């Protein structure tokens, strides 16, 4: 049973057992108080001086600060925040919990006036070089799983960041499904952020919602109380970063969708970004996962794609656009309409049921290194060093290919090469084929496996590579080379 189906079943079963009545939909027909206009004025400053040309927004319109850092924004009483598009060259302000604080609540007086002042602090050096880590789907459901997050993921991220060059700015992103429905556990995530030691931005996921909300807006109340707006932007060096909320909630189900207000805001936000610049967009639900093709379906499910994705693609056309998403607990790279989408494997793998996700990707997260307009990335497997980029299996591991050995190269994209050697002799490229990871078959196949998440099943993936295994081979070595020329190797045990 999928997490979506399981969650819906448990929710409705609990309601039935408690004798809960059907919701009174007539409440939705009652008139709501009209929105009142609010004028927000303020400044963006650093060291007592104003900062010019900083984007300030209420989530609807975007204005720029003047030469003295002043801004004026007309909004309404339905907008909870005024916030910045954080400029490059300044430290990312943080809440006491360590999460990024680039927003202030709008608190209007009786006359419909509100003020907001943002005081920033310059970085000690340039942020043209910087790094960030992305944790997709930490998805902790209970204290057993938050303990695993603290015991496994957090120390791994700490060690990785501590090994970075001194003085290099860094930040983190939790790419949705921070929780697994129980939002009272958000403080455990915040404690993890504090321990990891860099400011974190948050993306809302389908398991981060208030499920009793009757509207999409109501479903994000707890998230906003902890982390602020659900969509926003910021700059680091040359790169413009955008976080979007692509989880649309309609009382008892969700689907991937970007509403009109958000698209209008994004258009206004990108109007301040020069064509040709790199733009990195974070969403939870992939813009377009290939999972439906791998499962033999004609169309993607609205639960694993953005249904109005063409609108996003059009807005991103002028830019070097990368999209980073999670949600599917598997790894793939998708190239559509000039964009490169990185669908990341999950921090929790197969929902904290073992060491890998259902496509064989290890539990882990991604490291991105930025130099000017250049991005370089690597998937970091929890508990392994950065060279752990493939897993091999001897012939016989796949009953459908009994004479072939296999390599699972989870972060593969078409710029990578995968070749094999018999001893010191190069034998050639391995053949890419659709299949399921043998370790996932062992850990996940069947109604009784895995013990903690019996609904997990192996997921067909395109990042498996096959080659015939010679019967006389003493050693077989697989060598993969990424798009930057770095090489990783693994031997085939049992060869």
Query: Long-range contact list for 485-488, CB < 8 A, 24+ apart?
Result: 488/387, 488/388, 488/389, 488/390
The tokens describing 119, both together, are: 């005081």
Q: Choose the CATH number for 37-120 among 3.90.1170.50, 2.60.40.1120, 3.40.50.2300, 3.30.70.3270.
A: 2.60.40.1120
**So what's the pLDDT on residue 487?**
98
201 DSSP 8-state letter: E
The dihedral region occupied by 90, where left means phi > 0, alpha psi between -120 and 50, and beta the remainder, is beta
Count of CB atoms within 10 A of residue 454's CB? 15
CA distance linking residue 116 with residue 107, whole number of Å: 9
For the purposes of burial, counting CB atoms within 10 Å of the CB of 318, is it exposed (0-12), middle (13-18) or buried (19 or more)? Answer: middle
Between CA 290 and CA 298, with CA 293 as vertex, the angle to 5 degrees is 120
CA distance linking residue 101 with residue 115, whole number of Å: 17
With contact defined as beta carbons under 8 Å apart, do 442 and 391 qualify?
A: no
Task: Please state the pTM of the whole predicted model.
Answer: 0.94
Beta bridge partners of 122: 90
80 DSSP 8-state letter: -
Whole-angstrom CA distances from 204 to 263, 314, 404, 494 are 17, 23, 42, 44
Give kind and range of the element (H or E) at residue 5: helix 3-17
**So what's the pLDDT on residue 453?**
97
Strands 332-336 and 129-135: unpaired
25 DSSP 8-state letter: G
Q: Domain locations in the chain?
A: 37-120, 126-381, 391-491
**So what's the pLDDT on residue 19?**
39
**Helical ranges in 163-244 per DSSP H:** 186-196, 221-227
CA distance linking residue 172 with residue 369, whole number of Å: 12
Count of CB atoms within 10 A of residue 43's CB? 20
With contact defined as beta carbons under 8 Å apart, do 140 and 181 qualify?
A: no
**Helical ranges in 40-184 per DSSP H:** 143-148, 154-162
**So what's the pLDDT on residue 31?**
52
Coil, strand, or helix at residue 144? Answer: helix
**So what's the pLDDT on residue 32?**
59
pLDDT in tens, the chain (495 residues): 344 444 443 444 344 333 344 444 444 444 557 889 999 999 999 999 999 999 999 999 999 999 999 999 999 999 999 999 999 999 999 999 999 999 999 999 999 999 999 999 999 999 999 999 999 999 999 999 999 999 999 999 999 999 999 999 999 999 999 999 999 999 999 999 999 999 999 999 999 999 999 999 999 999 999 999 999 999 999 999 999 999 999 989 999 999 999 999 999 999 999 999 999 999 999 999 999 999 999 999 999 999 999 999 999 999 999 999 999 999 999 999 999 999 999 999 999 999 999 999 999 999 999 999 999 999 999 999 999 999 999 999 999 999 999 999 999 999 999 999 999 999 999 999 999 999 999 999 999 999 999 999 999 999 999 999 998 878 999 999 999 999 999 999 876
What lies within 8 Å, CB to CB, of 448 at 6+ separation is 454
CA distance linking residue 493 with residue 479, whole number of Å: 14
Of 460, 471, 401, 459, nearest in space to 430 by CA? 401
DSSP per position, 330-359: S-EEEEETTEEEEEPPPTTTTTSSSSB-TT
Beta bridge partners of 340: 322, 335
HSE, side-chain direction, 13 A CA sphere, residue 191: 9
Count of CB atoms within 10 A of residue 457's CB? 19
- Determine the straight-line distance between the first and last CA of the chain, rounded to whole angstroms: 37
HSE, side-chain direction, 13 A CA sphere, residue 138: 38
CA distance linking residue 306 with residue 206, whole number of Å: 13
CATH topology of domain 126-381: Purple Acid Phosphatase; chain A, domain 2 (3.60.21)
HSE, side-chain direction, 13 A CA sphere, residue 251: 7
With contact defined as beta carbons under 8 Å apart, do 279 and 312 qualify?
A: no
CA distance linking residue 172 with residue 92, whole number of Å: 11
For the purposes of burial, counting CB atoms within 10 Å of the CB of 452, is it exposed (0-12), middle (13-18) or buried (19 or more)? Answer: middle
**Using N-to-C axis directions, what is the helix angle for 260-270 and 309-316, rounded to 10°?**
10
Of 234, 229, 241, nearest in space to 104 by CA? 229
């Amino acid at each position: 049973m999928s997490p979506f189906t399981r969650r819906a079943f448990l929710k409705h079963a609990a309601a039935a057992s408690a004798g809960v009545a059907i919701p009174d939909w007539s409440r939705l027909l009652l008139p709501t108080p009209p929105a009142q206009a609010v004028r927000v004025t303020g400044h963006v400053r650093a060291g007592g001086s104003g900062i010019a040309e900083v984007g300030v927004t209420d989530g609807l319109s975007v204005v720029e600060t003047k030469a003295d850092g002043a801004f004026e924004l007309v909004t309404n009483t339905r907008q909870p925040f005024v916030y910045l598009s954080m400029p490059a060259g300044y430290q990312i302000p943080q809440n006491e919990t360590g999460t990024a604080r680039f927003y202030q609540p709008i608190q209007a007086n009786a006359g419909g006036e509100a003020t907001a002042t943002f005081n920033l602090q310059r970085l000690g050096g340039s942020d043209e070089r910087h790094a960030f880590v992305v944790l997709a789907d930490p998805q902790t459901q209970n204290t057993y799983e938050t303990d695993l997050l603290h015991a496994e993921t957090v120390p791994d991220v700490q060690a990785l960041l501590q090994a970075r060059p001194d003085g290099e700015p860094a930040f983190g992103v939790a790419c949705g499904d921070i929780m697994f429905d129980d939002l009272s556990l958000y403080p455990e995530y915040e404690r993890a952020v504090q321990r990891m030691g860099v400011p974190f931005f948050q993306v809302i996921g389908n398991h981060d919602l208030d499920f009793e909300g009757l509207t999409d807006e109501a479903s994000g109340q707890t998230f906003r109380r902890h982390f602020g707006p659900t969509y926003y932007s910021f700059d680091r060096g040359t790169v413009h970063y955008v976080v979007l909320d692509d989880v649309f909630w309609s009382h008892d189900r969700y689907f991937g969708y970007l509403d009109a207000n958000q698209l209008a805001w994004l258009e206004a936000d990108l109007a301040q970004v020069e064509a040709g610049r790199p733009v990195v967009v974070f969403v939870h639900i992939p813009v377009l996962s290939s999972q439906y093709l791998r499962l033999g379906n004609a169309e993607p499910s609205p639960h694993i794609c953005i249904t109005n994705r063409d609108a996003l693609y059009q807005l991103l056309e002028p830019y070097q656009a990368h999209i980073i998403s999670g949600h599917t607990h598997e790894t793939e790279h998708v190239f559509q309409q000039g964009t490169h989408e990185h669908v990341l494997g999950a921090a929790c793998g197969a929902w904290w049921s073992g060491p890998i996700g259902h496509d064989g990707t290890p539990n882990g997260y991604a490291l991105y290194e930025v130099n000017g307009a250049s991005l370089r990335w690597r998937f970091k497997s929890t508990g392994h060093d950065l060279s752990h980029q493939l897993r091999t299996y001897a012939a016989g591991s796949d009953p459908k290919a009994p004479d072939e050995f296999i390599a699972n190269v989870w972060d593969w994209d078409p710029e990578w090469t995968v070749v094999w050697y018999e001893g010191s002799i190069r034998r050639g490229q391995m053949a890419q084929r659709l299949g399921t990871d043998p370790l996932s078959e062992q850990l996940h196949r069947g109604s009784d496996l895995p013990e903690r998440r019996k609904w997990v099943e192996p997921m067909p993936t395109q990042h498996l590579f096959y080659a015939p295994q010679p019967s006389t081979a003493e050693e077989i070595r697989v060598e993969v080379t990424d798009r930057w020329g770095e090489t990783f190797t693994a031997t085939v045990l049992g060869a």
